[in-house]
Structure 1
Amino acid sequence: GKSAVVIEASVTGEAGPAARALLTYGGVRESRVMRTGEAPPVLPPPEDCTAFFAADRAPGFARHFDVRLAGGARPMTPGAEPRIAVWIRHGDGEVPAGAPALVALADAVPSAALVLFPEFAPFSTMTWSLDFTIDAPSSASGWWLLDSRIDAAGGGYAAQDMSLWNDAGHLVARARQMVAVFI
């Protein structure tokens, strides 16, 4: 069309399909419709928060990120609200720009479904959609606030809603995720 391009990409292996992505890119255009989105939750700043990943139990990829628990609960806290709110930034000290860097941040924290787990068990993302709400997201400090909440869980699945704000409090992305849980 004139205003957007839709691209599909698939990854397959010997065992069959592994992943499929549907990407839609649209350029900024003039519009009289405007809403800036919801305000971020009131949470302490990153410097007042503790590390999210325990040094002795952190997954290997966690070394690439600085993640601080700002609200909600840690995994395996049954009875707590199934929510994880973290301040997150890339761990290399630089502030990468662009969508790939934000996708990595949005996917660096485990599902809030793990809060409901009594002990560790396998889980797997089934579907994940990510919508950017502004054209050129940026964060002056490199910190981003990611808030993940489970809407419903049962029958081996959990539905999750996520929001990502920059350090100025602007909503930059929303995401939905369906997670299979094996507990």
Structure 2
Amino acid sequence: MEPTSTAPLAARASGKRVCDMVAERSLRDATGGVDYVVQDNGGPVYRSNRELNFAYCRVLLAGDAKGTDADLLEVRVAHGTDTNLLRDVYAGRKPQKYPVAEVPGYVEPQSFVDPEGAEHPGAVAKAQWGDWTIFLTLRRSPEGRDPSGDVVALSRQVADSLKLSKEREEPLPSAADLGVTATPDR
């Protein structure tokens, strides 16, 4: 394991990238420098007209670990509006609002268990980034890091790397359109 930093991660990926979406240095810092392997890298997948279709990446602990207990990071990017995400945001059902202007979403701190049974802090971020939904899970964060801040920064790196716009082709459905009574700050 190489030394890692506890400084906040950059919102833009630079240098070598994992799955063409997140900075390798950021991944190392966010996970405490553990050895990892990239598995199931759907990476950015483009249509024949060179427009993004979807992107997927799963990063696992290196070694013999299998299954979701071995996951360090999972990134999914899909085209379209996630109405379940919007319902949760409008109704205030998630503890932390996604902290990027014009991007409805949430951040949720969680705990995850590794293959040896040890519990680690982590977080999930889900955001409606323009016409795209970004879902990012960080399952292992070392002491001294802010996993909620890390998932926001990593999801911003994904949006930047894939050149996703916050602009939408069609307006987002409103809370009323989705049959939800909005909370005042949503």
- TM-score normalized by structure 2? 0.30
- TM-score normalized by structure 1? 0.30
Looking at both structures, which has the greater relative contact order when contacts are Cα pairs under 8 Å and sequence separation is at least 6?
A: 2
